[in-house]
Structure 1
Amino acid sequence: MNPYIIEEFENGLLVFKINRPEKRNAISYEVMDGLEIALQKAGEKSVKALAITGEGNQAFCSGGDLSSFHSLKTEDEAFGMLSRMAGLLKEILFLPKPTIAILNGAAVGGGCELAAACDYRIANAGIKAGFIQGTLAITTGWGGGSIIMEKMLPANAMRMLMEAKLYSDEELKELGFIHSVFEGDPIEGCKSFLERMLMLESEVLEAYKSLLVKKWAAAGLEERIDQEVRRCSVLWEGEAHHNKVDSFLNNP
Structure 2
Amino acid sequence: MTSPIETTTRGGVLHVCINRPEKRNALSMATLDAIAAAFVAAADEQDLRLAVLTGAGDKSFAAGGDLKELASVKGEEAAVTMATQAKAALSAVRNFPLPVIAALNGDALGGGAELAMACDMRVAASHARIGFIQGKLGITSAWGGGVDLMRLIGPARALQLMTRMEVLSPADASEMGLYNATADEGTTLEGAVESFIGPMRGQSPHVMRAFKEMALHLRRNDREEMDRLETYNFGLAWAHPDHDRAVDRLLNKTRTS
For the aligned pair, the TM-score class normalised by the smaller chain equals over 0.9
Equivalent pair of 1:6/1:38 in contact (CA under 8 Å):
yes
For residues 64-123 of structure 1, what are the alpha-carbon distances to aligned partners after superposition, in whole Å with 9 as ceiling and x for unaligned? Answer: 001111110111111121111111222222222101111100111010000011110111
Equivalent pair of 1:61/1:107 in contact (CA under 8 Å):
yes
**RMSD, matched Cα:** 1.4
CA spacing shift, 1:223–1:15, aligned 2, 3 Å: farther
Question: Is 167-176 or 151-160 further displaced after alignment?
Answer: 151-160
Equivalent pair of 1:131/1:166 in contact (CA under 8 Å):
yes
**Structure 1 unaligned residues grouped into runs of 5+:** none
After TM superposition, list the pairs within 5 Å mapping 1:26-65 onto structure 2: 26-43=26-43, 44-65=45-66
- The one-letter code matched in structure 2 to 1:124 is A
After TM superposition, list the pairs within 5 Å mapping 1:86-235 onto structure 2: 86-183=87-184, 184-218=187-221, 220-235=222-237
Q: Secondary structure at the match of 2:46?
A: coil
Give the ranges of 4+ consecutive aligned residues of structure 1 lying more than 6 Å apart after TM superposition.
none
- The one-letter code matched in structure 1 to 2:84 is S
- The one-letter code matched in structure 1 to 2:250 is F
Shift of the alpha carbon at 1:245? 0.8
Shift of the alpha carbon at 1:186? 3.0
CA distance in 2, matches of 1:247, 1:114: 25
State, as a whole percentage, how many aligned pairs show the same letter: 34
- Alignment correspondent of 2:244: 242
Question: Is 221-230 or 241-250 further displaced after alignment?
Answer: 221-230
- Alignment correspondent of 1:81: 82
- The one-letter code matched in structure 1 to 2:227 is I
CA distance in 1, matches of 2:134, 2:194: 31
CA distance in 2, matches of 1:115, 1:215: 18
- The one-letter code matched in structure 2 to 1:193 is F
- The one-letter code matched in structure 1 to 2:230 is E
TM-score by length of 1: 0.94
TM-score by length of 2: 0.92
- The one-letter code matched in structure 1 to 2:119 is C
- Alignment correspondent of 2:24: 24
- Alignment correspondent of 2:67: 66
CA distance in 2, matches of 1:74, 1:86: 18
CA distance in 2, matches of 1:2, 1:87: 20
Shift of the alpha carbon at 1:166? 1.3
For residues 170-227 of structure 1, what are the alpha-carbon distances to aligned partners after superposition, in whole Å with 9 as ceiling and x for unaligned? Answer: 1111111111111544333222211111211111011111112222333x11331232
Q: Secondary structure at the match of 1:195?
A: helix
CA distance in 1, matches of 2:194, 2:9: 12
**Structure 2 unaligned residues grouped into runs of 5+:** none
CA distance in 1, matches of 2:58, 2:219: 33
CA distance in 1, matches of 2:35, 2:228: 19
CA distance in 2, matches of 1:13, 1:230: 36
Q: Secondary structure at the match of 1:251?
A: helix
Equivalent pair of 2:36/2:93 in contact (CA under 8 Å):
no
